[in-house]
Structure 1
Amino acid sequence: MSMLHLHYDVPGDDFTRAGEASGDVKHKLKRLGYEPDAIRRVAIAMYEGEINMVIHAGGGEATVDIDPDKVDILLQDHGPGIADVSKAMQAGWSTAPDNVRSLGFGAGMGLPNMKKYTDLMEIGSVVGEGTTVHMVVNPGKK
């Protein structure tokens, strides 16, 4: 059982609310005394995942389990899925529409950044059913 179990609904098509979950987790990790670098890594990875759910999937859910030795993040959506995960992992590759790009999002760095800032990242995606991303950050404590 985790030290702290959190669940968030990520609203779809609402860029003003994207980042609420990652922001809340960031504040909780600060209060728990996690190292700033670990907090930054968790916040970046989660935010990128939230933005992806807003842009591509009409929202989703984030579940976070915080333990002294790891932060376990599970992002799930029921969007269109990712047809080619290996291509989606390439920096700069994006399927974001022009209206999203005009807002400054959709540069194709979401999944690469999620992988870069986590110690473990696994993606499961089925076209027409959705995507699940599991990430783990192994943080230090102050």
Structure 2
Amino acid sequence: MTDEKPLIEIERRITGGDFQSAGDVSSELKRILQQIGFPAAFSRRVVIAAYEAEMNVVIHAFRGVFRAWIFPQRIHIEVDDEGPGIPDLELAFQEGYSTAPPHIREMGFGAGYGLSNMRKCSDRLEIDTRVGEGTKVIMDFFLNPDS
């Protein structure tokens, strides 16, 4: 990241398996983006990707940390979890592929679109995953991606 000072920084803990609080972080982010006045279409992309990353921690990891830096022209998000990691990242990006157990799918989660939605919604996506240790997702969203 640059020396540019963000308007707002967010850091929230996410607990694996806590479906009661699932979506709280991305909902808070949505409220903040609306208050700042980001365009709805831009905010929607950010919030969808943030929700997918948050849910991956809830579904798959023991715990994680969600961090967001909101700048006037861009948003940078990092989600770092302690979990199983992703054994086959290429396979995990295939729409519909999921390692979520049946009880998670019965609750309506784990359909296998999380990573592909993050890729579609973000302007830059980087994933560092270590099997048996965890996964770090880094996403950037640019208000004017062509500038």
1:46 to 34, 43, 50: 50
Q: 1:68-104, CA deviations, whole angstroms, 9 ceiling, x for partnerless residues?
A: 1101000000101001111101101110000000011
Segments of 4+ moved more than 2 angstroms:
none
Inter-partner Cα distance in structure 2 for 1:40 and 1:11: 24
Inter-partner Cα distance in structure 2 for 1:58 and 1:51: 12
1:17 and 2:21 equivalent? yes
Q: Secondary structure at the match of 1:24?
A: helix
1:93 and 2:97 equivalent? yes
Inter-partner Cα distance in structure 2 for 1:25 and 1:52: 17
TM-score after normalising by structure 1? 0.95
Q: Return the letter of the residue paired with 2:30.
A: K
1:83 to 57, 70, 87: 87
**RMSD value over aligned CA atoms?**
0.9
% identical equivalent positions = 43
How far has the Cα of 1:16 moved from its partner? 1.9
Which is further off, 72-81 or 131-140? 131-140
Aligned residue pairs, count = 140
Inter-partner Cα distance in structure 1 for 2:18 and 2:56: 12
Inter-partner Cα distance in structure 2 for 1:42 and 1:80: 25
Q: Return the letter of the residue paired with 2:63.
A: G
Inter-partner Cα distance in structure 2 for 1:39 and 1:30: 8
Structure 1: 5+ residue stretches without partners: none
How far has the Cα of 1:11 moved from its partner? 1.7
Q: Return the letter of the residue paired with 1:105.
A: F
Inter-partner Cα distance in structure 2 for 1:59 and 1:52: 10
Inter-partner Cα distance in structure 2 for 1:98 and 1:59: 20
Partner of residue 106, structure 1: 110
How far has the Cα of 1:19 moved from its partner? 0.9
How far has the Cα of 1:58 moved from its partner? 2.1
Matches within 5 A, 1:126-137: 126-137=130-141
